[in-house]
Amino acid sequence: MRIAILGTGVVGKALGQAFITLGHEVKMGSRDAKNEKALAWAKEMGPRASAGTFADAAAFGEIVLLATLGAANESALTSAGAANLRGKILIDTTNPLDTTGGGPPKLAVAGNDSGGERVQRLMPEALVVKAFNTVGAPHMFRPDFAGGPPDMFICGNDPGARKKVASLLADFGWGVVDVGGIESSRYLEPMCIAWVLAGIHGGNWNQAFKLLRK
Amino acid sequence: MRIAILGTGVVGKALGQAFITLGHEVKMGSRDAKNEKALAWAKEMGPRASAGTFADAAAFGEIVLLATLGAANESALTSAGAANLRGKILIDTTNPLDTTGGGPPKLAVAGNDSGGERVQRLMPEALVVKAFNTVGAPHMFRPDFAGGPPDMFICGNDPGARKKVASLLADFGWGVVDVGGIESSRYLEPMCIAWVLAGIHGGNWNQAFKLLRK
């Protein structure tokens, strides 16, 4: 499949490499078609990787992953273009982090709204699915934990899109916990902060959620 | 130890029975000293169980568990009395659920506040620790899951109180994930809703969080 990654940070690179490893084609999008990080990444990843603008990537991808900093979501998506995202699965991996306080991050959007809902409102014709927001980049692909696989919590309004993302997550080595519509981002984004606080207080970032079931 | 349980619902009964099983003395508190549910429970549980008003229970307990409906927290705590809670560990098991919408519950308090913080503000001299709010009553004691034990996420401002609650949780059969001060209730209460939504969408309520670590 053709995969677009919007964003050139550690999450974008980790997910891009994962899709390349699984045999997909990946275009990494950024503000500038000549973004050095994106070009260097594509060169390193080989012939199935490429780089371009947000719009180039979104046009290319059959599935698009939003992996910008949460605060940059709106401008990245606007640059990507609604027409390039229409009818496509848009995986929102971001969290609306407020890191201005000096202490641990808080949520800049919470309560009766969420980052995931904002993405969906901004791109109403995209099939937004929240995923990859409750674990750190090093463990997004083939997570290796005793007692695993861990579970990725996902939500999104389109059941078919959730099912497709669940299938991709299985390819990545994850179990999946489906918590319904995109409004449930209100509960998954706080789980990111719980994960961060557990890392801070436990002194260990090699951690991932699982929902034990019987 | 002497344990107070404020509340006569399924959570109060489950936790009360757990403490009795572990050899503690438990007084179940409710609005009315002659509450039939509390008296019947105490009779069933035997000589180490008793019942009384919220104030009776709070005065009795060395550790107090708040197990009312979230909406009743304020009146129950006010009835229990600040003097009876002063300097004591107050385990807040509740969630500020809004069930008025007809669909799945939402949070009545969220964003820049939380139920746990409200409890702490209401009883500033109590050592409030949030716990037991991310799992259902049937699995609070000796949770039995393949791949277990599951982890209870806890928070509270007093490190010593968190440590004591972690020790109690170990007696109950739980691992513990400490996420810091009571403000972190902002992230643990949404996890309750994620748990509920996972139950709804997965059709299975026999589920408990674990944080896989390596």
pLDDT single digits (tens) A78-92: 999 999 999 999 999
The proportion of chain B whose per-residue pLDDT surpasses 90, expressed as a percent, equals 98
Residues of A within 8 A of B184 (CB-CB) are 193-194, 197
Partners of A92 in the β-ladder = A66, A130
Q: Is the ipTM of this complex over 0.90?
A: yes
Strands A151-156 and A127-130: antiparallel
- Res B70: pLDDT: 84
pLDDT confidence of residue B18: 98
Question: Tell me, what DSSP letter sits at residue B62?
Answer: S
Closest CA relative to residue A46, chosen from A22, A17, A66, A7: A17
- Per-residue confidence band for A102, with pLDDT thresholds at 50, 70 and 90: confident
Q: Where are the beta strands (DSSP E) in B23-67?
A: 25-30, 49-53, 63-66
**pLDDT for res B155:** 98
Taking alpha carbons only, the member of A192, A196, A194, A103 closest to residue B155 is A194
Contact A211 B188 (CB under 8 A): no
State residue B23's pLDDT score: 98
Cα distance between residue A71 and residue A66, in whole Å:
12
Cα B41 to Cα A200, A206, B55, distances in angstroms: 41, 44, 18
State mean pLDDT over A112-138: 98
In whole numbers, what is the pLDDT of chain B averaged over residues?
Answer: 97
Which residue of chain A comes nearest to B114, CA vs CA?
A111
How close B206 gets to chain A, by Cα (Å)?
6
Contact A208/A135 with Cβ under 8 angstroms? yes
Contact (Cβ atoms closer than 8 angstroms) between residue B80 and residue B55: yes
Please, which pLDDT band fits residue B9 given cuts at 50, 70 and 90?
Answer: very high
Report d(CA A42, CA A53) in Å as an integer.
Answer: 13
Which of the four pLDDT bands, split at 50, 70 and 90, describes residue B167? very high
Q: How far is it, in rounded angstroms, from Cα B113 to Cα B109?
A: 6
CA dihedral sign of residues A80, A82, A84, A88 = positive
Instruction: State yes or no: pLDDT of B71 exceeds 90.
Output: no
pLDDT digits 0-9 by tens, A159-212: 999 999 999 999 999 999 999 999 999 999 999 999 999 999 999 999 999 999
pLDDT confidence of residue A119 = 98
Output phi, psi for B151, to 5 deg.
-115, 135
B21-40 pLDDT tens trace: 999 999 999 999 999 999 99
Task: Enter the tokens of residue B68.
Answer: 């009312």
pLDDT at A13: 98
Say if residues B171 and B149 touch (Cβ distance below 8 Å): no
H or E stretch including A177? strand A175-178
Q: Is the pLDDT of residue A70 over 90?
A: no
pLDDT band per the 50, 70, 90 thresholds, residue A71: confident
pLDDT of residue B56 exceeding 90: yes
Report the residue count for chain A.
214
Compute the nearest-CA separation of B108 from chain A (Å). 9
What digits encode the pLDDT tens for the residues A34-60?
999 999 999 999 999 999 999 999 999
State pLDDT tens for residues B84-128.
999 999 999 999 999 998 899 999 999 999 999 999 999 999 999
Please tell me the distance in Å from A190's CA to the nearest CA on chain B: 5
Q: What is the mean pLDDT of residues A110-127?
A: 97
The residue written with tokens 């560990």 in the block is: B89
Is the confidence at residue A76, as pLDDT, over 90? yes
Q: Do A3 and A63 touch, CB atoms closer than 8 A? A: yes
pLDDT score recorded for residue A101: 87
Kindly report the number of other CB atoms within 10 A of residue B123's CB atom.
25
Which residues in B have their CB inside 8 Å of a CB on A? 104, 107, 110-112, 144-148, 150, 153, 155, 177-180, 184, 186-191, 193-195, 197-198, 200-202, 204, 206-214
Per-residue confidence (pLDDT) for residue B102, from 0 to 100: 87
Question: A161-183 b/e with 16+ CB inside 10 Å = b?
Answer: bbebbbebbeebbbbbbbbbbbb
% of chain B at pLDDT higher than 70: 100
Does the beta-carbon distance from A110 to B111 stay under 8 Å? yes
Which whole number is the average pLDDT over A61-76?
Answer: 95
Q: Which residues of A touch B210 (CB under 8 A)?
A: 147, 209-212
- Whether B191 and A193 lie within 8 Å, measured CB to CB: no
pLDDT score for A124: 98
